[in-house]
Amino acid sequence: MVISKKVLLLFVGLALFVTSLAQTRKITGKVTGPDQQPLEGATVVVKGLGHGTSTLKDGSFVINVPETGNTLIFSFTGMEVQEVPLADKTTVRVQLKGKVSKLDDVVVIGYGTQKRRDLTGAVSTLSSQAYKEQPVLNASSAIQGRVAGVSVTNNSGAPGGSVKLRIRGPNSINGGNDPLYVVDGVALGSTGLGDLNVSDIASMEVLKDASATAVYGSRGANGVVLITTKSGSSGVPRIEYNGFVSFNRPMKKYSLMDPVTYAKMANLTSGVNTFPDPQSYAGKGTDWQNMIFSNSVTQSHELSVTGGKEGVKYYVSGFYIDQQGLLVNSSQKRFGFRSNLDVKLSSRLDFGVNVYLARINSHNNGDMGSKGNPVTGALTWAPTEAVYDAPGQYNRFGISPIWANPYMTIKESDNDNFGNIGVFNARLKYAITDWLTFTVNAALDLKTAKSASLRNDWISPGNPGSSQGSTESYTFQNSNILTFHKTFDKHDLTATALVEESSNKYNYFNASGSGLASLSNGYHNLGLNASQSINSGYSNWALLSYMGRVAYSYNDKYLLTATLRRDGSSKFQGNNKWSSFPSFSAGWKLSNEKFIDDLGVFSNLKLRAGWGVTGNQAIDPYSTLGLLNSVIYSYGTPNGYQGYTLGNPATPNVKWETSKQTDIGLDMGFLNGRINITADYYNKNTSDLLLFTRIANYDGGGSYLKNIGKVNNKGWEFMIEGTPYKGRELTWSTSLNLSFNKNKVIDLGKDSLLERNVIGGGLISAPIQVVKVGQPMGAFYLIPWEGVYQSDNGAYKAGDAKYRDVNGNGSIGFEDRVIAGSATPTFIWGFNNSFAYKNFELNIFIQGSHGNKIFNATYAATAIPTSDVKFINLADAANYWTSSNTNSTWANPASKNKSWIESTQFLQDGGYVRLKNVSLSYTLPKNLLKVAAAKVYVSAQNIATLTKYKGFDPEATTVGGDVDAGIDLGAYPSPKTVTVGLQVKF
Amino acid sequence: MLKAIDMKKVINYINGRPIRITLVMCCLALASCSKFLDETPKGSITPQSFYKTANDLQLAETALALQFNLAFNQVTAPYYAGDDIAAKRNGNKIDFSDFDVFNANSSNSRMTTWWNAFYGTIKSANSLLANYNNATEATADQKNNAGGYAYFMRAISYFYLTRTWGEVPMPVDNSINDNRPNAKVADLYNLIVGDLQKAETMLPDHWTGPAKQNGVDVLPTKGSAKALLANVYLTMAGWPLKQADKYSLAAAKAKEVIDNKATWGYTLLTNFPDLWKFSNRFNTEAVYACYFNKTTPNATWGNGNMMAPNPYAPDYEEGGWEDGFGEISFFNRFPAGPRKDATYQKDYFVKNDPANVVDWQHTLQKHPYFLKYREDDQFNWSNHKAGDWWSSATSFVIRYSEVLLTYAEAQAMSAGPDANAYLAINQVRQRAGLTPLPEGLSQTDFRNAVVAERGWEFAGEFGIRWFDLVRTETVQQANSLRDAGEVALINHPSDAGHTYYWAPIPFVK
């Protein structure tokens, strides 16, 4: 990273000098709004020099203008920007006009900006204004349901839990489907979207089609989310406080058996009186769900200061979030600060530094023991069991399942993670001439984390232990951009050239011990362990990129954009390292044509079309090298000895996965911009899939990486925004977005079906998902369940579970599995409504996702016997089929024929409609607080969900990928919350 | 001091030479070194750099040992077809019961453990076999030992695979073949014998380093290879190959082990119950065994043993998993003595109450439970309560008593039941508290006595009894004695047609 260092040195050198200013003259004046009312806080800036001030309460201002300055720029939120030439004036009176459309907004498009009216690609913008009425802890929650074509799923409701975000469907089977996140020009490599402070975000741009994302080449296949953080503005310092407290409760609970019923069913299942006297449990026993779930509290506080003068602008913020989990003894605390600084060093040289630092302390918020986790444990543990054998003595193992006491597991767990997040970037923008600008951006994003855990005698009986570990990930980026922009007559040409280097270094270190002599030091003294084991690792990837882009417009009617990016990746070998990614797009501003204008219907009408190629290299470093697998074996002693064995085969011929996408879009504006509609159709073909194909178990199992197959995503997106009603006191604004996506596997080379690996062994014993030609990704492959036998039939007795013998061999088995739906949603939508009345504002936000199935292994674990859980616990399953209860589809627990968990019986509709947010806010009258403006609000999230899904939460799945997807194996559910909040501006 | 630099001059300099400055910056950006995109996996081992030194060979041996452990740390269903073990036909035990009643299909969830663990071992062994000779920085002995170990592991894995499933795929290198055909049984045995003949010359008499614990060789030795080869020959003499000439080879090979037992330190433990004591988890009767320790930091699955304490413990009475229990008819025929008392549980504590004791006839399942895999360091004998769900107990694969019985049978079948044959079996009987076998038995009677003796000696031990029934073609015959208290057979094996002799090949193979 020689280059980055040099560039940074240059920055530092330049930053040390502050330009002394030449002679100045004083200008005074007043700024008013459309209704002649004085505007307080409007920004006044000297054009080309960047320094400025803001207006006072009566709209007046005073500004010193250097002799080189000859124009003032006036701006105010929601108003059109206005430029006023000074000539010899010493006083200026300005009336700003209300903004009629968003078309003049500048949109960030990656290595540059463009006016929305000139866009030719599919780009959605989400302003922080859009979700200001919803308390959000993670930026992905802000996107959920608000951007057409983007699907957001909260896979885990744990504090800081994982979120799946997909733009226009999943493309890749193994290459990763997460979009690229770019914060102020920094492509995040070590940190994630969830690591940011949401309040710092000014806007997010979602680049969806290939003509928009091709500038990101090999990282653009899954779409790009560009995040712009808030920057300072000239004028008096403005201080803002936002705080809220949320009260969390479980959305729902499973209806389980009472202890008496449980005992009776267990007797039937075991065929003998395992419980001699079920009635003796009446009124006794344990409600394990109540034990592990708690009504928890989350609080969030955020404070920011923004301002600027004399060519310097700043935005500084700090935040603190304390989130208690829905599961007892799980939590996350986050705090951090951001400082965004922009300095105008000279009329030609701009310099900026953004620094973001955060700390994330998590406690027990990981996946605790996979299938035997506290959630599945609480649902399957016998209600006849007591929590404790004696005071302070847990009842460790019950009659069923084989997993340990779930309350003990979560209560006695002590797993901490302390993460440090840093995102630094410095940029230097140098105007070589009026039409040529050179920008250098140097950035580092890093995440270092320390994990520590203590396993006491309850977690690790007879053998307590402790461990610590550390991970470090550093991503360096250096972008050098040359931008040309010139207008000749009716021609407008912008050209961009880029050279960029990105690289990441990752390493980890783990020290683990057992036979801990004393628990008194917690996990802090690893030396107290009798036996020790250490391991460490390292990885590194690098990407070298060249990109060129030309955007041309003629007569403000015809728009053309062409880009070409060439990427070299360290993850591929030899000639496969390099690949090129071109794109073309065009736009036609029909509303600027006379024949459309004459119709008098459209205030804006633009047709867009684009085609482009993007790539995917999101495999782990060294994936093609055939590394050996590392194992630890004890030779029967308490010591671990390192061992190595053959891993997956080396695959040096593997190359880039590429996506080709076509997009056709139409932007329409009506009633002078009061109603805007955007419609897009896209067709995306991903080929040369990076696919880890399963190696037969007789060849030792594992997988090998190949470039085979094709996946297609096509769909429609609609976004309708408007203000249907605007009266003197009541305003109703609304936005509706609808996204239809059809995902299909087109080709898998010589195979037509690839089975995935078994997930949830002990419950599930065969692959239940496949990748199959003609099916969407995440296809379920299950034995068709047909209820119960109503009468004796050969080896089957009335009341036995009935399955379809698909291959007709007279026996039920995995050869009878059929495709039974997919985990990939086909239709997602969001509907947001705001009603402003006087000082009140009501927000109602509904969001939905449809067309996907979920395999509810959690539910199944409660409903039929499996090798880990021998007795059933689901209340419904107690209502089993008998000759006098023939409507039931539940098999008799005493059945001598097997009930298959790997059947369609446990595949459930994952579609849902959710009232995501309802909030009511009240802005305090201005005369109430002299110095500040304040707003109070109360809101509720996830308060109602319409779904056929029988689990806790249709969003929560344990297996959150795309081909291994939609399997609920004790997923941590999201809570429903009630929030009260306060916002104060000084 | 910064003051010394005139800022204005710097700015003017930059402003005056825009193109030159830009060019310099561009050149800096473009001047990336050619190694920027190379991959150097500093923290990982690549195949190119491995298998070079003696330490590399030891790392490979360690991984191979762990791999094989996965086959012997839990119960597996196919050997439930034997007459020594059965499972109740309820709930999650139906997949075990399906083998017991000859109803298993290719989707049986309880048999894939063996398939996957043995083939995983074969993959690692094949890799070591392809490379051990390239270890330029290892002595000839170190290379031979590593190669011999890999041959042994491949042979024992195929031996279990073909006895369980018959004709199975036979990869002998690390190539990948999605449509690998099944090999003929004879070809599988040819490979097994060839591998063991190499192993018995290449393996050491004793290991050093971590492979030697408490005076016991954790990894197989020359003696282990000879003992296994003796068993392989004995099996080849029976069904399906029926190569009677192999009896004499089996006898000779077993005799090598017996005659040189001092070299490898093999003895019969004086008391049969001592085998199953946790304190004896390293002992001199183990010719080859899998050793575990769940307390190892970062212990993965193969480092612990789930055979103890739960799978054979009664569910209702003592909170075990009851994955299997003894078959009644077999139990009734089992001669009384200290061996029987150590094999089966006598007193059952209802709800772990030592004051509420019942015999097996009064347990809920009315079956005798195996006691062999019960004790670990946390099992509480005062109330019969398990302390954990897995343990560090040892799983024996070949015990010295098996070598004696292999010799006795093979000697009788090749040379006749001579004094040496009697001496071998009577050592085992004597320890079991039984009288010596009557003198003057016919070859057939003697052979039947040895097979029965193997049944008593190894009841419940990873399919030894089941494999005996198969090779002696007595599956149907053994099941004719099935007690009425067992789940009725759903399908009926035939000793003439050899039906149900092999398990169905796993659907996901």
Q: What is the pLDDT of residues A362-399, one digit of tens each?
A: 999 876 546 678 889 999 999 999 999 999 899 988 88
pLDDT at A694: 81
Asked whether B364 and B320 are in contact (CB, 8 A), the reply is no
Residues in chain A: 986
Closest Cβ opposite residue B15 in set A348, A503, A896: A348
Bridge pairing between strands A60-66 and A388-390: unpaired
| Res B76 pLDDT > 50 | yes
Q: A449 has which bridge partners? A: A419, A471
CA distance B488 to chain A (A): 12
Q: Which burial class, exposed, middle or buried, applies to A733 when counting CB atoms under 10 A from its CB (0-12, 13-18, 19+)?
A: middle
Q: Which of A205-209, A944-948, B343-347 has the lowest mean pLDDT?
A: A205-209
- Chain A interface test: which of B37, B219, B306, B310 (most A C-beta within 10 Å): B37
pLDDT at B4: 44
| Res A466 pLDDT > 70 | yes
The percent of residues in chain A predicted with pLDDT above 90, rounded, is 53
With a CB cutoff of 8 Å and minimum separation 6, the contacts of A242 are A199, A300, A301, A302, A303, A981, A982, A983
Helix residue spans in A344-495 (DSSP H): 374-380, 406-412
**How would residue A15 be classed by pLDDT, with cut points 50, 70 and 90?**
very low
- Chain A residues in contact with B33 by the CB 8 A cut-off are 2
**How would residue B25 be classed by pLDDT, with cut points 50, 70 and 90?**
low
pLDDT at A556: 87
Domain ranges of chain A: 22-95, 102-230, 231-251+293-364
Closest Cβ opposite residue A696 in set B22, B180, B388: B180
pTM of the model: 0.82
For residues A751 and A660, the model is more confident at A660
pLDDT at A584: 95
Q: Which two tokens stand for residue A924?
A: 């305090």
**How would residue A9 be classed by pLDDT, with cut points 50, 70 and 90?**
very low
CA pair distance B384, B396, nearest whole angstrom: 23
Give domain A22-95's CATH architecture.
Answer: Sandwich (2.60)
Asked whether B125 and B158 are in contact (CB, 8 A), the reply is no
pLDDT at B216: 95
Q: Which two tokens stand for residue B186?
A: 């004879």
The percent of residues in chain B predicted with pLDDT above 70, rounded, is 93
**How would residue B10 be classed by pLDDT, with cut points 50, 70 and 90?**
low
* Among chain B residues, CA nearest to A570: B37
Taking an 8 Å cut-off on Cβ atoms, the answer to whether A698 and B65 are in contact is: no
- Chain A interface test: which of B34, B95, B295, B505 (most A C-beta within 10 Å): B295
| Res A937 pLDDT > 70 | yes
Taking an 8 Å cut-off on Cβ atoms, the answer to whether B65 and A869 are in contact is: no
* Among chain A residues, CA nearest to B116: A697
Amino acid identity at B291: Y
Average pLDDT over residues A397-416: 90
CA pair distance A475, A498, nearest whole angstrom: 19
Taking an 8 Å cut-off on Cβ atoms, the answer to whether B291 and A634 are in contact is: yes
Closest Cβ opposite residue A499 in set B15, B29, B387: B29
**How would residue B287 be classed by pLDDT, with cut points 50, 70 and 90?**
very high
pLDDT at A922: 92
Q: Which of A57-71, A964-978, B310-324 has the lowest mean pLDDT?
A: A57-71
pLDDT at A957: 78
| Res B379 pLDDT > 70 | yes
pLDDT at A684: 92
For chain A, report the end-to-end CA distance as a whole number of angstroms: 44
CA pair distance A432, A483, nearest whole angstrom: 10
* pLDDT tens-digit map of A556-568: 899 999 999 999 9
pLDDT at B125: 97
pLDDT at B9: 62
pLDDT at A36: 74
Average pLDDT over residues B91-95: 88
Average pLDDT over residues A42-53: 76
Phi, psi of A434 (to 5 degrees): -60, -30
* Among chain B residues, CA nearest to A532: B297
Closest Cβ opposite residue B295 in set A345, A515, A644: A515
Taking an 8 Å cut-off on Cβ atoms, the answer to whether B296 and A637 are in contact is: yes
Amino acid identity at A434: D
* Among chain B residues, CA nearest to A433: B18
How many of the other CB atoms lie within 10 Å of CB of B184? 13
| Res A888 pLDDT > 90 | yes
CA pair distance A252, A830, nearest whole angstrom: 23
- The segment with the largest mean pLDDT, out of A133-147, A385-399, A428-442, B159-173, is B159-173
Q: Pick from B174, B172, B220: which is nearest to B200 by CA?
A: B220
- List C-alpha distances in Å: B80 to A207, A560, B105, B473: 60, 73, 14, 16
The percent of residues in chain A predicted with pLDDT above 70, rounded, is 95
CA distance A270 to chain B (A): 6
CA distance A415 to chain B (A): 15
Closest Cβ opposite residue B295 in set A629, A638, A869: A638
Task: Kindly report the CATH number that applies to the domain delimited by A102-230.
Answer: 2.170.130.10
Taking an 8 Å cut-off on Cβ atoms, the answer to whether B297 and A404 are in contact is: no
For residues B80 and A232, the model is more confident at B80
| Res A20 pLDDT > 50 | no
pLDDT at B339: 97
How many of the other CB atoms lie within 10 Å of CB of B241? 15
* pLDDT tens-digit map of A756-798: 878 877 788 888 999 999 999 889 999 999 999 999 988 899 9
CA distance A658 to chain B (A): 20
Average pLDDT, chain A: 88
Closest Cβ opposite residue B123 in set A271, A641, A646: A646
| Res B501 pLDDT > 50 | yes
For residues A590 and A3, the model is more confident at A590
Bridge pairing between strands B212-213 and A827-837: unpaired
Taking an 8 Å cut-off on Cβ atoms, the answer to whether A465 and B300 are in contact is: no
pLDDT at B434: 97
Which 3 state secondary structure label does DSSP give A334? strand
Q: Which two tokens stand for residue A709?
A: 């197959």
pLDDT at A8: 43
Phi, psi of B419 (to 5 degrees): -60, -40
**How would residue A517 be classed by pLDDT, with cut points 50, 70 and 90?**
very high
Asked whether A763 and A869 are in contact (CB, 8 A), the reply is yes
Q: Which of A8-17, A185-194, A334-343, A864-873 has the lowest mean pLDDT?
A: A8-17
- List C-alpha distances in Å: A346 to A275, A335, A352: 86, 36, 13
Average pLDDT, chain B: 92
CA pair distance B204, A382, nearest whole angstrom: 53
- Chain A residues in contact with B11 by the CB 8 A cut-off are 17, 19, 345-346, 349
| Res A280 pLDDT > 90 | yes
Closest Cβ opposite residue B507 in set A461, A631, A813: A813
Q: Pick from A249, A269, A265: which is nearest to A257 by CA?
A: A265
| Res A16 pLDDT > 70 | no
pLDDT at A104: 65
Which 3 state secondary structure label does DSSP give A146? coil
Q: Which two tokens stand for residue A676?
A: 């805007």
**How would residue A102 be classed by pLDDT, with cut points 50, 70 and 90?**
low
Amino acid identity at A406: P
CA distance A443 to chain B (A): 14
* pLDDT tens-digit map of B403-445: 999 999 999 999 999 999 999 999 999 999 999 999 999 999 9
Which 3 state secondary structure label does DSSP give B154? helix
Bridge pairing between strands A24-32 and A91-95: parallel
For residues A738 and A597, the model is more confident at A738
Taking an 8 Å cut-off on Cβ atoms, the answer to whether B281 and A631 are in contact is: no
Average pLDDT over residues A66-82: 78
CA distance B116 to chain A (A): 6
CA distance A882 to chain B (A): 18
